[in-house]
Amino acid sequence: MLQQKLIQDLKDAMKAGNADKVGVLRMLNAALQNQAIAKGKDAVLTDEEVMQVLLREAKKRKESVEAFEKGGRPELAEKEKSELALLEVYLPKQMSRGEVVAAVEKVLAGLADKSNQGLVMKAVMAELKGKADGKMISGVVREKLG
């Protein structure tokens, strides 16, 4: 189970004295516990739910990097980038833009109504959830429909 791997990696990082990794994994563990509490008493998260939390935390880091770079704080952006790198170890490999374009074209070929961007996005996101960045997918869909 993915959550057990995260806990074991936290223990290993603590033993190795890797403070950065310990901090990120503790934050992630807290987010997972919050998700379990929100789910209900004595709830156990599935690997899919753990992956959703991982994706949400990675997205927060990406947004923080952009904000810090725009705000002229490169040292804070670097800290967020290093945290993001530690989180990406647990995420599935992200698709390249070319792979996303091919997947969007495949989904578009199977849809009868290609005029509604919302419906197209829903179909594409169902296919690519967790495999590619939502902003990139949205951009490719807009490009193909426009």
Tokens of 100: 């996303």
The dihedral sign for the CA sequence 16, 53, 140, 77:
negative
pTM for the full predicted model: 0.77
Contacts of 29 (CB under 8 A, 6+ apart): 6, 7, 10
Domain boundaries defined on the chain: 2-88, 97-145
User: Are 91 and 54 a contacting pair, CB within 8 Å?
Assistant: yes
Give the chain's length: 146
Q: What is the pLDDT of residue 33?
A: 92
More confident residue, 62 or 126: 62
Q: What is the mean pLDDT of residues 104-127?
A: 80
Say whether 87 sits in a helix, a strand or coil: helix
Span 37-66, pLDDT tens digits: 998 877 888 988 999 899 999 999 999 999
Neighbours of 73 (CB within 10 A): 14
Does residue 109 surpass a pLDDT of 90?
A: no
Residue 30 confidence (pLDDT)? 95
Are 129 and 94 spatial neighbours (Cβ–Cβ below 8 Å)? no
Q: What mean pLDDT is reported for the chain?
A: 88
For domain 97-145, which CATH number applies: 3.30.2390, 1.10.10, 3.30.70, 1.10.8?
1.10.10
Q: Which CATH superfamily is domain 2-88 in?
A: Uncharacterised protein YqeY/AIM41, N-terminal domain (1.10.1510.10)
